[in-house]
Structure 1
């Protein structure tokens, strides 16, 4: 019996030596592939900064070729469903286990399998038994969930404005540029970066923020006038006040967000003189001048503004929020009287634009049924307005819609009789100017556009805001 076994073994050896490198055979019908013991299929590993130096071990039951051969084991991993087309080699050994650090495993998955950092990577593992001249024996595949680790990168660093600096805004420098600049963020993974510039009142931990702009560049400039609007309007600060303001830069990719450190500086807001106004008390609000809406002075004896009437009403214009001064009633269509004993004007429900000349004693009341966006940035081009929605509580018209690179203006009732442009074509917040230049949309995207015709309170002008979502 022993002689028979020896003869069988030598015949196998001779057969192996007779084969070329490209012709591998099985030495026995009774062979078994390696069997992975650890890790088990379906197990998960979360890689963190704290466990990078820990060991990660793969163990298996050895392959059996039916004869005693020198066997080398390769531990291979690949991403799911790649059928080990281009696997990474965890290790090679003649033992029944391989140990690497978790950091080494993380590097293999990131570098050789091209998986992203800080995401769940579905990978597969197998053991390949190899011996010279015979066919490989391959274990079953073990599926693993590995949450990779990567240093997110370096956040942006603000270089302008300087910390503790001050910007004073007055009528003489409204069009001057307020410049912001920063060193670029560095991310561990490639991708497009968008920078969002946020401002807040110091000490509020950015509970309420004003978005000064979004850009893919490392700088942004807005006008002093726009800055004043953001601080007074969005952040609710007073005029002619030194406002301690904080600014930060948020760098965003599709997978990661990095935040700069906060820079504090002072904004001395504009001392905006309140314009003359006319109050509009009437039956719609109980004939109480002190709580009535207003229209604002736009020139000598000239007043202009928009008012919404939820229902038909009679009303008057008053020079003060009381009945003790001049009040203007109805003389005839388009004509006013200072005779306080005369009736008020009658108006149907709706949204109206008023013009009043208190010297000539004339008025105009034009009903506006809609405001809309117009221009090459909109779906209707210069031909058809994109309607906005009126909010009577906020007294604003607004819309959230997709816009493309191009020009943007605002007009009423899909017509050019009432249309507004902007003072600064690059300022995303500022005053509306009748029949002025269009705003310049610089990037395709989704935007929220808000028009406010509440001119009886700060900032005492019709204004707009364009927010890139």
Structure 2
């Protein structure tokens, strides 16, 4: 069965000496089956191993050039260079969007995109590339070109994810502060992160905040949140007042295309033990680093032991049975053999941790 689109275009038809014009609707039939349409074709396909080097991060990874897609009608077309670690492009990220017939992603773009897709640093893997076309404003008009594959080894780097900000009473109303950032891990308009929304001056009172797209007050979104389950939902309103929520640690999900915000209460992690400032009686709160996706703290420790636990209670806790940097649920206390200032980072997805003496 043919995949047919019917497109109406409004053309400006000149009258006289171009002194005026009249609008005229022209309808076109676009066949996406391939019989009368052609997907963009890369004119310089390459394969084999490509170099990813941090020293060359700003350099062009590769220049992809293609022959224009042909829809059989005079339509405006946008092209997207997609990349994925999966050959079926089921998790593809958009590297470059353009109306031109070439794209020149940098080494950094490719490396960051590969890591965001789950590629392990220091390990060789195949990356798949494809150019797709779409008639501007017509989602059903996508034509996909043939795939290309390059073998690379990503290097370790802190990824510069797109960021939005959540200034509020819990962190001094400071847009751009380290505490209060959400990240777009897929490099789109959906942002996520975990924030402790608790005002130290009033730890049991409701907390006000806003959302800003930049680390400044030029534009700020607020509004009214509706309680939903263990959290809240609402819309981002540029003329709205402060958001207000009960104190707690929340997993945020913000969509700046749909202009929506969702918050769900989540675990609040901290250190406890004889090596920590609070001993075995009081937890020392960790902060969530959304860019690295770890819970972390820089803190003075004394010789002794510690564990990490959730929500100031012994329901969910982690230790290290073998002293190898791997976290085990309910595991052995982690030893601190020398007093000093330490930076601790805990990856509760990969169940690993690091402890670095500063």
- TM-score, structure 1 length as denominator? 0.33
- TM-score, structure 2 length as denominator? 0.42
